[in-house]
Amino acid sequence: MKKYLIAIFLVVTSLGNSFGQRVTLEDVANHVGTGSQVTVCGKIYGGKYLESARNTPTLLDMGANYPNQLLTLVIFGENVNAFPKNPEAYFLNRDVCVTGEVIDYNGKPEIVLRRPDQIQLNTGVMANTNAPRKETAKVVPSSKPTELPKTSSTPKTAVSQKPSSTIIGTSVAKTSTNKTPQPVSSLTSKSTQDDITLTGDVYMRSGPSFDYPIVSTVKAGSVVGVLFSSNGWSQVIIKNSNGKDEAEGYIKNNVLK
């Protein structure tokens, strides 16, 4: 029984030495020279490798940047290979928990790290501070007028197709760069094949292609007179409340319902 009690005492003592008394960064200076093991957690704000200094130490600044750090962590060159490569870069901007004896060096508290198990990433803190947040995009119904083609749509007025270079007396070359809509004054002599009242807002373009600029947004309830339909587009005249021609352009057939 006595042997078991001794064994339990050694295990408890070993665990106490491994983890140490938990203290805060602000309080760590009060434990300088006590000879006891403490565990302190915080962020690494800076670090540097002093290649030309004796023992080639790597210094990690904890709690703030040098020279305002609250605690300095030291890894000497003889031990550095036991730690992650380039610890001054590996631990930078990470939250860690370190365990060791706090000593004084030039008026600053310091812990010498000789084993990699003395410094552990504080994953619980990092999950809240360093991990990027994934924001779920909000789905908002779009009020944007539509002109996307639908596979099941059919032009309301079916007419025989004419060469795409000529549409009701208006020359529109396939590669033309002239995308200026016709003036209203030129619309008065044109007759329409069909008049359609729009049930939703649609875009009207200056030519029969998505490459042409948008002339205007035709509001729901507007009366559209169809002049000609070809290749999925219709040349139309927008009529005002008095039934007179107001504007001319091109609308995708699938939205003429």
pLDDT tens digits for the chain (257 residues)? 555 555 554 444 444 445 679 999 999 999 999 999 999 999 999 999 999 999 999 999 999 999 999 999 999 999 999 999 999 999 999 999 999 999 999 999 999 999 999 999 987 543 333 334 333 333 344 455 655 544 444 444 444 444 443 333 333 333 334 444 443 333 334 556 678 888 888 888 888 888 889 888 888 888 888 888 888 888 888 877 676 667 888 998 887 76
pLDDT at res. 146:
56
Q: Whole-angstrom Cα distance, residue 43 to residue 137?
A: 31
Residue 220 and residue 230 in contact, taking contact as beta carbons nearer than 8 Å: no
Instruction: Give pTM, 2 decimals.
Output: 0.44
Q: Which CATH class is domain 166-255?
A: mainly beta
Spans of all domains in the chain: 12-129, 166-255
Q: Whole-angstrom Cα distance, residue 17 to residue 32?
A: 16
pLDDT at res. 32:
95
Cα(first)–Cα(last) distance of the chain, in Å? Answer: 94
Q: Which CATH code is given to the segment(s) 12-129?
A: 2.40.50.140
